[in-house]
Amino acid sequence: MSRTARVTAQAKINLVLRVLARESTGYHSIETVMLRLDLGDEVCVRPTSGRALDVAGPAMPRDGLGAVEKNLAFRAAVAYADATGWPDGFAIEIEKRIPVGGGLGGGSADAGAVLRALDALSPNPLGARLVELATSLGADVPFMTIESPMALAWGRGERLFPLRALDARPVLLAIPDFSVVTAEAYAWLSSDRGTYTPEAAVLAPESLATWESIAPLAMNDFEHVVARRHPVVDSLVRRFEDLGALVAMMSGSGSTVLGIFTKLANAALVGVSGVNTAETRTSERVFRVEMD
């Protein structure tokens, strides 16, 4: 019987997210600081003779996730098999706990978890070369394959500088009843900016060593353009600030708004109609792949 690999695919937040100039390929370079959360999807991977993906769980959208072949976790397994010649087939099971389309990197986390799981099962693992394979799948996926809970990233997310994780802090997530398609967020940003082409600032790793030093740097280029179309984002950021959050900002391309606290605020105090809340923590570790 084939061995099975299980791993928690941790959500991420971007403490800094700057969108830089658009390249000739149509992609934008980014400069970002990514940090894993304890919140995660549960992913199970098993080599088989066919190719299958089964997704369920409390964060599963009512209308599903679309075509299996377009799912990032499925694409990650196909990419691994194409690159290495192994496995012939696979069965992937995912219990969704990360909100879909909320800017928390759930799809990328699942893809990274699948790559890590297959590499743990493989007779000839890729090891550090896994990041190269992850780059073809999306800007967040390379980070989701490395054994560091926090990193500074440039380019399309493939240039990674691992950082010492900040002390774990409580996080309150406010999740509106709408999602934001990343491609739309980029289009809004390009439209609002016009011909503006920002240059990279190149954050110094020493400025990211403590919560006190990183809090003044926390920013997200997508926040303003998403809030223009969805004003509730601004309302939630201001609400978290009123509740004493050390960092209050939109996550990724939206729509989730996060508050990082010294002591977790009462979720009931968010009090915005059409917004769900979830509690978690920033993570000081990457959950390991377990085998059975």
For the chain, the structural domain boundaries read 5-163, 170-281
Q: Which amino acid belongs to residue 25?
A: T
* Least confidently predicted of 12-21, 43-52, 124-133, 219-228: 12-21
If you average pLDDT over residues 119-136, what whole number do you get?
94
Task: Please give the CATH topology (third level) of the domain spanning 170-281.
Answer: Alpha-Beta Plaits (3.30.70)
User: Tens of pLDDT along 236-264?
Assistant: 999 999 999 999 999 999 899 999 999 87
Residue 122 has pLDDT above 90, yes or no: yes
pLDDT at position 77 is 98
Q: Is 38 a catalytic residue?
A: no
Distance CA 20, CA 221 (A): 9
Distance CA 72, CA 114 (A): 9
Residues in Cβ contact with 173 at an 8 Å cutoff, skipping those fewer than 6 apart: 39, 99, 102, 104, 251, 256, 257, 258, 277, 278, 279, 280
Residue 199 has pLDDT above 70, yes or no: no
CATH number of 5-163: 3.30.230.10
Distance CA 87, CA 121 (A): 9
Mean of pLDDT over the chain: 90
User: Tens of pLDDT along 68-110?
Assistant: 999 999 999 999 999 999 999 999 999 999 998 889 999 999 9
The one catalytic residue in 41, 110, 140, 221 is: 140
pLDDT at position 227 is 95
Q: CA angle 212-213-215, nearest 5°? A: 70
Q: Is 63 a catalytic residue?
A: no
User: What separation, in Å, do the N-terminal and C-terminal C-alpha atoms of the chain show?
Assistant: 11
The one catalytic residue in 12, 41, 96, 221 is: 12
Same-fold call for 5-163 versus 170-281? no
User: Tens of pLDDT along 153-191?
Assistant: 887 667 899 999 899 999 999 999 888 888 899 889 888
Contact (Cβ atoms closer than 8 angstroms) between residue 20 and residue 29: yes
Contact (Cβ atoms closer than 8 angstroms) between residue 36 and residue 72: no
If you average pLDDT over residues 214-219, what whole number do you get?
94
Name the pTM for this structure.
0.92
Name the residue among 254, 240, 246, 282 with its Cα closest to residue 176.
254
pLDDT at position 23 is 61
